[in-house]
Amino acid sequence: MYVCLCNAISDKTLREVVRRYQPKSIQQLRKLLPVGKQCGKCLRLAHDIMNEELPNAPLYKEIA
């Protein structure tokens, strides 16, 4: 399903970005994806998906 119609961002894409980069805020998420940069109607759903996915995100360890 599309979360952001203006920029054609799906929930699958949003979940993958959150799992991979683990943004801590909507501002950080917006640096990774252009979510909410036009009409802004998708921000609430994007925030909900981000909060849903962050606890399930894998922990990345530093590679020495």
Terminal CA-CA length for the chain: 39
What's the structural domain count of the chain?
A: 1
**What's the CATH number where 39 sits?**
1.10.10.1100
Residue 46: how many CB atoms within 10 A of its CB?
A: 21
Phi, psi at residue 3, to the nearest 5°?
-90, -45
| Parent domain of 26 | 2-56
Q: How far apart, in whole angstroms, are the C-alpha atoms of residue 58 and residue 31? A: 21
pLDDT at 45 over 60: yes
Q: Which tokens sit at 54?
A: 């962050």
32 vs 61, more confident:
32
pLDDT at 23 over 50: yes
